[in-house]
Amino acid sequence: MTSNTDTIFALSSGAGRAGVAVFRLSGSRAIVIAETLAGKAIPTRQVVFAKLRDPDDRREIDSGLVFTFEGPASFSGEDMAELQVHGSLAVIDDLSDVLIAQGARPAEPGEFTRRAFSNGKLDLAQAEALADLIDAETIQQKQQALGQLGGRLSGLAEQWRAQLLAALAPLEAAIDFPDEEDIPEQIEARSAPVIAALIETLEVFARGAEQGRRLRHGVSIVLLGPPNAGKSSLLNWLAGSEAAIVSDTPGTTRDLIEVRLDLGGVPVSLVDTAGLRELTDDEIEQEGMRRARDRAATADLRVGLFDGRDGDGSAMLSDTIGSDDFLVANKADLFDSLPKIGEQQMFSISLKTGAGTDLLLEALTRRVRELTGQADEPRLTRLRHVHAVNGAIDALSRAVTQTGEMPELAAEDVRMAIRQLDQITGRIDVEEVLGEIFSSFCIGK
Ligand SMILES: Nc1nc2c(ncn2[C@@H]2O[C@H](COP(=O)(O)OP(=O)(O)OP(=O)(O)O)[C@@H](O)[C@H]2O)c(=O)[nH]1
Ligand SMILES: [K+]
Ligand SMILES: [Mg+2]
Return the SS3 of 102: coil
The answer, yes or no, to whether any atom of ligand 1 lies below 6 A from the CB of 148, is: no
Is the link from the previous residue into 43 a cis peptide, with omega within 30 of 0?
no
Name the residue with the closest Cα to ligand 1, atom 32.
331
Nearest-atom number in ligand 1 for the CA of 225 is 19
Domain with CATH 1.20.120.430 in the chain: 129-215+379-439
Cβ neighbors of 130 (< 8 A, separation 6 or more) are 113, 122, 145, 149, 441, 445
Task: Give the gyration radius of the chain's Cα atoms.
Answer: 29
Domain 129-215+379-439 carries which CATH code?
1.20.120.430
Domain with CATH 3.40.50.300 in the chain: 219-372
The answer, yes or no, to whether any atom of ligand 1 lies below 6 A from the CB of 256, is: no
The model's pTM: 0.87
The class of domain 8-120 in CATH terms is alpha beta
Q: Which of 222, 224, 228 to mutate to test the pocket of ligand 1 (most atoms within 8 A of CB)?
A: 228
Q: Which of 233, 238, 248 to mutate to test the pocket of ligand 1 (most atoms within 8 A of CB)?
A: 233
Domain with CATH 3.30.1360.120 in the chain: 8-120
Backbone dihedral angles phi then psi of residue 172, each to the nearest 5 degrees: -70, -35
Domain 219-372 carries which CATH code?
3.40.50.300
- ipTM score: 0.99
Binding-site residues for Mg(2+), in ranges, read 232, 253
- Where in 40-163 does DSSP place strands (E)? 47-53, 60-69, 80-86, 105-106
Nearest-atom number in ligand 1 for the CA of 334 is 1
Please give the angle made by the CA atoms of 370, 373 and 375, to the nearest 5 degrees: 140
Indicate the pairing of strand 80-86 with strand 20-26. Answer: antiparallel
Strand partners, 224: 304
Q: Which of 224, 231, 237, 246 to mutate to test the pocket of ligand 1 (most atoms within 8 A of CB)?
A: 246
- Report CA dihedral (94, 99, 102, 104) to the nearest 10 degrees: -150
Binding-site residues, in ranges, read 24, 82, 121, 228-233, 247-253, 272-275, 330-333, 445
**Tens-of-pLDDT digits for all 445 residues of the chain?**
344 579 999 999 988 889 999 999 999 999 999 999 999 999 999 999 999 999 999 999 999 999 999 999 999 999 999 999 999 999 999 999 999 999 999 999 999 999 999 999 999 999 999 999 999 999 999 999 999 999 999 999 999 999 999 988 888 877 777 666 666 666 666 788 999 999 999 999 999 999 999 999 999 999 999 999 999 999 999 999 999 999 999 999 999 999 999 999 999 999 999 999 887 788 888 898 999 999 999 999 999 999 999 877 788 888 889 989 999 999 999 988 776 666 566 899 999 999 999 999 999 999 999 999 999 999 999 999 999 999 999 999 999 887 767 888 889 999 999 999 999 998 876 666 677 777 777 777 7
Strand partners, 329: 306, 348
